[in-house]
Structure 1
Amino acid sequence: MRRLIFLLVVGLAGLVVLLSLGAWQVQRMAWKQQILDIIDARVVAEPVALPLNPDPLADKYRPVRLLGEMAAGELLVLISTRELGPGFRVIVPFVTEDGRRILVDRGFIRAAAKKSTRNTGKAELIGNLHWPDETDSYTPAADTANNIWYARDVVAMAAALDSLPILVVLNGHPINGSSVLPMPINSASIPNDHLQYAITWFSLALIWAAMTAYFLWRPRAKTES
């Protein structure tokens, strides 16, 4: 009897834990979808002038219109996409009409175009403010000798290009005469895999419940036989 009680307690405790993890993933899925909806709504809003002091939280994804000059110099961020293959994001300094020097993510170039010359000069740009969270303890340090970065670290890139830590990612309209392919912000590139995780936990809960029932039934079946 004690063995049956022990198996029942362990079985119920494990079932509660697995169901709780599944329910938590369902909640996370709803939370993530809310974030994606906010991103989609902000990205397509009407562009405004660059705020005087953009806030990384309140102004993230805000569409802005820039008037000024694309300055010389660029940083290349190594990336690879399923559609485009390996290449680089091109991050350049941009000086606005009011004299602020910020960062602009011009978009994608193929690896073969790394040493090509890209146009600079006066421009009117439309893009979205962004402070990407792409760095962690495993991110390699930038190879500054070969101008290869492994993540968009806004603060570090701003220091390297002597600009403010403000990044604008251009939308889907390329600069005239530019071979750089814009990579606009959109929610499609942000995964929401919490439904898969929830199904996994609920499936494990079902398996755990079946195994618990089997181990509880087996001693009884042996006794009856």
Structure 2
Amino acid sequence: MRRLILPLFFGILGTVVLVWLGTWQLQRLAWKEGVLADINARIAAEPVALPERPNPELDTYLPVVVSGHVTDQEIHVLASTRDVGAIYRVVTAFETEGGRRILADRGWIKTENKDITRAPHSATLVGNLQWPQERDGFTPENDVSENIWFARDVGDMAAVLKTEPVLIVVREATYKVSENGPSVTPLPVDTSGIPNDHLGYVVTWYGLAIVWVAMTLYYLRRMRKTKKA
């Protein structure tokens, strides 16, 4: 029996640790689902007037409504969608009726429509404030000269278009589309880009716990058979 104590100890210890990790990830899953539910509720809430001084920490996802003028000053951000493939997001300088200049992510166009002129026009935009964090160590530098961007860097876009560092991602728009070019399709804010891998971790840790128990029982059985032999 003394020969079985050590492997039994490690078997029990490993199982306890793995089950604890799985349970912890299960708790994290419930927390993350609550966070995502809160964000979704915030995104879909009734829009309000644009704050005087939007705060990136407090006002991210805040739904707002603004009326004013869509300019022809555009930034094109290379992106992709599952259904269309490569696209450009169109970020425009928007002049509000109150005289402010902000950024408006109007939506997407096909890559072949990049250089088609979209004339200025009046509009009312409903959308959500956002300060995207899309840049990592693998993101190429923006090619400002060719107007090909790889991330929506709000500060840099605001400097180029001479606006406030405030971005509205449009979900609904009321305006007259120019006859000189195709319309821009809104690409609203959602939570699909927020990672939630906790369920996978739950399955992994509980699965490893089952394997650990099976291996421990197999090892103990082999030791008993060896001893009898």
TM over 0.5: same fold? yes
- Asked if 2 retains the 8 angstrom alpha-carbon contact of 1:64 and 1:128, the reply is yes
Q: CA deviation at 1:142?
A: 0.7
Amino acid corresponding to residue 113 of structure 1 in structure 2: N
Say if 1:33 and 1:175 are closer, same or farther in 2 by CA, change over 3 A.
Answer: farther
- 1:5/1:148 Cα in 2 relative to 1: closer, same or farther (>3 Å)? farther
Structure 1 residue 173 displacement after superposition: 4.0
Offset at residue 191 of structure 1 (A): 4.6
- Measured at CA, do residues 13 and 144 of structure 1 come closer, stay the same or move farther in structure 2, by a change above 3 Å? farther
Q: Does 1:141 find its partner at 2:145?
A: no
- In the superposition, relative to structure 1, how do residues 93 and 173 fare at CA in structure 2: closer, same or farther (>3 Å)? closer
Partner of 1:200: 204
1:212 aligns with 2:216: yes
State the match for 1:51 in structure 2: 51
RMSD (Å) for aligned C-alpha atoms: 2.0
Q: What stretches of structure 2 of length at least 5 have no aligned partner?
A: none
Corresponding residue for 2:228?
A: 224
Asked if the contact 1:172–1:183 (Cα under 8 Å) also holds between the matched residues in 2, the reply is no
Per-residue deviation at 1:224?
Answer: 2.1
Summarize the Cα distance change of 1:150–1:2 in structure 2 as closer, same or farther, 3 Å threshold. Answer: farther
Match of 2:184 in 1: 180
How many residue pairs end up in the alignment?
A: 225
Query: Identity over aligned residues, as a percent?
Result: 49
Which 10-residue stretch deviates more, 120-129 or 103-112?
Answer: 120-129
Equivalent residue, structure 2, for 1:17: 17
Shift of 1:215: 1.3
TM-score (ref. length: structure 2): 0.89
Alignment-mate amino acid for residue 183 of structure 1: L
Name the structure 1 match of 2:130: 130
Question: Within 2, Cα distance between the matches of 1:155 and 1:141?
Answer: 14
Q: In structure 2, what is the Cα distance between the partners aligned to 1:165 and 1:24? A: 39
CA contact (8 A) 1:174 1:182 kept: no
| Per-residue Cα deviation, 1:108-134 (whole angstroms, up to 9, x for no partner) | 111111111123232211111111221
Q: Give, as a single letter, the amino acid of the residue that structure 1 aligns with 2:62.
A: R
Contact kept in structure 2, 1:70 and 1:93, CA below 8 Å = yes
How far off its partner does 1:216 sit? 2.1
Secondary structure class of the residue paired with 1:74: strand
CA distance in 2, matches of 1:167, 1:122: 18
